[in-house]
């Protein structure tokens, strides 16, 4: 049984953040997930999982204290990056082909010859091809990033660096709660982008379709500052409503384990099953 905590008491006692951060969330209740820590321990990580039930207006949290702890968004930034590229006309649609520039930094991104070729934006999103989104970032420019990140309340626009993947390396950070806020607005179609462009991004996020639900998601992983920072974020649509989820794992690379990548999804799905959201 989940331990129910009144949202006003929790936010007043545990968070020093401004109530302005709750503009897009007026949760009726915040519920802890008391057994979630065992999944993090099994993977040798520290972590946070948030699940928002839109139909019941409830937020479930595995670790309330870290909701506002910021970190690099890594490849989850490809969601908003795609939206900005579409909205500014940098790309017309998900089928737009980005030409392979002929070189990439294999020290930073590893050696992945399977993605060293011309790719559509949709292919790049699904394979997490960093070089494609670096090319788009160069075209988008700092001014457009500042405009749309501000409109979306997504991180600190002043922390972005031009002509770089500031979402993987640097000082641009996002909290799990901010991820949740952004994803809720995307799922509900209330972001400052056209419906067409939001629908395109939802389409390329579609990850899994079962008899009872459709799952939209994006993974992320960066190794900056000696820390593995891993994300799995998205939403699940069911006949009775939608569920927004955000998972973030942190691991000191001195304790690096081969299963870190798979743990992002495994932990999230275990908790989603406990909440009876997926089978």
Residues with catalytic roles: 75
Q: How far apart are CA 129 and CA 258, in angstroms?
A: 21
Provide CB contacts within 8 A for 266, sequence distance 6+: 39, 43
CB distance 162 to 134 below 8 Å: no
The CB density around residue 170, as the number of other CB atoms within 10 Å, is 14
Q: How far apart are CA 173 and CA 209, in angstroms?
A: 31
Which regions of the chain does DSSP assign to beta strands (E)? 4-5, 29-32, 46-53, 58-61, 97-98, 119-120, 206-209, 213-222, 227-238, 241-252
Specify the 3-state DSSP secondary structure of 87: helix
Indicate the pairing of strand 213-222 with strand 227-238: antiparallel
Q: How far apart are CA 56 and CA 43, in angstroms?
A: 31
* Closest of 272, 233, 270, 228 to residue 250, by C-alpha: 228
Query: What's the half-sphere exposure (Cβ side, CA atoms, 13 Å) at 69?
Result: 16
Measured CA to CA in angstroms, residue 23 lies from 3, 58, 60, 181 at distances of 25, 15, 18, 9
Specify the 3-state DSSP secondary structure of 208: strand
């Amino acid at each position: 049984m989940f331990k129910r905590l009144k949202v006003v008491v929790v936010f007043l006692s545990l968070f020093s953040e401004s109530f302005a951060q709750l503009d897009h969330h007026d949760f009726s209740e915040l519920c802890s997930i008391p057994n979630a820590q065992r999944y993090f321990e099994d993977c040798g990580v520290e972590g946070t999982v948030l699940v928002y039930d839109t139909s019941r207006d409830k937020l479930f949290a595995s670790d309330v204290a870290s909701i506002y702890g910021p970190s690099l968004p890594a490849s989850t930034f490809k969601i908003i990056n795609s939206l900005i590229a579409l909205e500014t006309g940098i790309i017309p649609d998900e089928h737009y082909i980005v030409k392979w520039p002929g070189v990439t930094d294999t020290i930073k991104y590893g050696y992945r010859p399977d993605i060293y070729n011309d790719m559509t934006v949709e292919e790049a999103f699904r394979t997490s091809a960093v070089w494609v989104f670096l090319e788009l970032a160069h075209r988008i420019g700092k001014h457009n990033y500042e405009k749309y990140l501000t409109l979306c309340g997504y991180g600190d626009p002043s922390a972005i660096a031009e002509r770089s993947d500031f979402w993987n390396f640097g000082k641009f950070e996002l909290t799990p709660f901010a991820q949740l806020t952004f994803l809720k607005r995307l799922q509900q179609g209330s972001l400052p982008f056209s419906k067409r462009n939001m629908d395109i991004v939802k389409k390329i996020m579609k990850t899994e379709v079962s008899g009872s639900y459709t799952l939209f998601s994006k993974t992320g992983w960066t190794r900056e500052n000696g820390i593995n920072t891993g994300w799995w974020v998205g939403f699940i649509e069911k006949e009775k409503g939608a569920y927004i989820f955000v998972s973030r794992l942190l691991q000191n690379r001195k304790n690096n384990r081969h299963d870190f990548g798979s743990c992002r999804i495994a932990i999230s799905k275990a908790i989603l099953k406990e909440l009876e959201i997926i089978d």
